[in-house]
Amino acid sequence: MNSINRLFAERGDRKLLSLYFCAGCPRLDMTADVVLTLQRRGIDMIEVGIPFSDPLADGPVIQSAGTVALKNGMTLQLLFDQLRAIRHEVAVPLVLMGYLNVVMHHGLERFFQNCVESGVSGCIIPDLPLKDYLETVKPLADRYDVRVVMMITPETSAERIRFIDEHTDGFIYMVSSAGITGAQQSFDEARMAYFERIAAMNLRHPRMIGFGVSNRQTLESAQAHAAGAIIGSKFVTLLRQTGDAEEAVGRLYDALKQ
């Protein structure tokens, strides 16, 4: 069984926490240490960002991290090499997040082959059109047993949400707002209504809520309306400030209590 599916099948009533970081930031050689540290500190799933020069869905924190990573020399192939070196030590699901241009430049089938060889269970490609997913990407992903996770936003139609639910596997990434990534202090009434509306659809697949989760209030709101939460910008900021994965995740846990 794919490790993403296993995670959700075995979680019971426990709410999950997934963290995102950008590979290659703040240092080129930190990938293995960050992944293993997060696993040791109880993070359920790890989302590893592939740096790209034009990340349309990302806010200034993650854009800046990507710029640093590219200047440090991070590439998709190097990231695969770094993950491959620790694949037998990693038990939690690894999900790559990157843009279509980078994946296509690497080679689509080669990308999924490398995912398997590196212990990667899924990927998120924010700018992947559904038509291209169905016709080209999904057949290859299915062949290599890699989950392609799709995002939905408050503006996504019910018809499209049900289509995504029917034609993808693993989980649905529920973006808290139609904007870019970035830490927020609270979710307003409109976002809470959106969370409740999607929960009432009784979708087949579990949902993880991301974008804006950074403190106790936003974490609890996300976890109350989904299988769990994804934190990105807050952890990326702490990792850059400290330069140390252990200290960064410790400070994050402290922030989530406030």
Amino acid found at 187: F
d(CA 144, CA 67): 31
237 found inside a domain: yes
7 found inside a domain: no
Domain that holds residue 253: 16-257
80 found inside a domain: yes
d(CA 95, CA 18): 10
The reported pLDDT for the residue numbered 21 is 98
Prediction pTM value: 0.94
d(CA 42, CA 9): 18
* CATH code, 71: 3.20.20.70
191 found inside a domain: yes
Number of domains observed in the structure of the chain: 1
CB 32 within 8 A of CB 78: no
The tens place of each residue's pLDDT in the chain, 258 residues long, gives 999 999 999 999 999 999 999 999 999 999 999 999 999 999 999 999 999 887 666 778 999 999 999 999 999 999 999 999 999 999 999 999 999 999 999 999 999 999 999 999 999 999 999 999 999 999 999 999 999 999 999 999 999 999 999 999 999 999 987 654 444 556 888 889 999 999 999 999 999 999 989 899 999 999 999 999 999 999 999 999 999 999 999 999 999 987
8 found inside a domain: no
Contacts of 180 (CB under 8 A, 6+ apart): 57, 58, 59, 211
The reported pLDDT for the residue numbered 182 is 44
The reported pLDDT for the residue numbered 186 is 60
d(CA 120, CA 104): 17
The reported pLDDT for the residue numbered 248 is 98
d(CA 207, CA 94): 17
The reported pLDDT for the residue numbered 111 is 98
Catalytically active residues are: 47, 58
11 found inside a domain: no
5 found inside a domain: no
The reported pLDDT for the residue numbered 180 is 46
30 found inside a domain: yes
Length of the chain: 258
How many C-beta atoms surround the C-beta of residue 68 within 10 A?
18
Q: Strand order in 16-22's β-sheet?
A: 147-149, 122-124, 94-97, 45-49, 16-22, 228-231, 207-210, 172-175, 151-152
